[in-house]
Amino acid sequence: TEAGVPVIVDATASRRAWREMARQLIAHFAEVQLVCPRELCVDRERAVRWCLAAGGVARRGAPGTVAAPDVAPDYEHALAPELTLRTDRQDAWSAIEAVLRLAHQLHRSASGASHR
């Protein structure tokens, strides 16, 4: 960013053109694609929407939470993401570590570019 602070944004941009626009507007941009089988994605969406805990047990949603959008049937997969996470095979902590490594790489490349 202009302030030199790394930013991670959680967003669903189902169209490649939207992600490409972000890439053109943001100097140090990286696309992270999360991949899992559609059935698992639907189950996860249902759990979020209905505030289900592990095992399908209903729980109270946190105040102010908003249901996640439906699974986008017209999602255009990334052609060359900087990072792909297989969320059906990878545990949450290793995925988080991978995203943080990527953020650090972006920060280092931004710092190097600003010192030239």
Stated as kind and residue range, the H or E segment containing 83 is strand 83-86
User: For the whole prediction, is pTM greater than 0.75?
Assistant: no
Across the strands, what pairs with 110?
A: none
Backbone angles phi, psi at 67, to 5 degrees: -60, 145
Mean pLDDT of the chain: 79
Domain boundaries, the chain: 16-114
Q: Is the pLDDT of residue 114 over 80?
A: no
DSSP 8-state class, residue 52: B
Q: For residue 47, with 0-12 CB atoms within 10 Å meaning exposed, 13-18 middle and 19 or more buried, which class applies?
A: middle
pLDDT tens, position by position, 60-112: 555 555 544 555 567 888 999 999 999 999 999 999 999 999 999 988 888 77
Look at 92 and 46; give whichever has higher pLDDT: 92
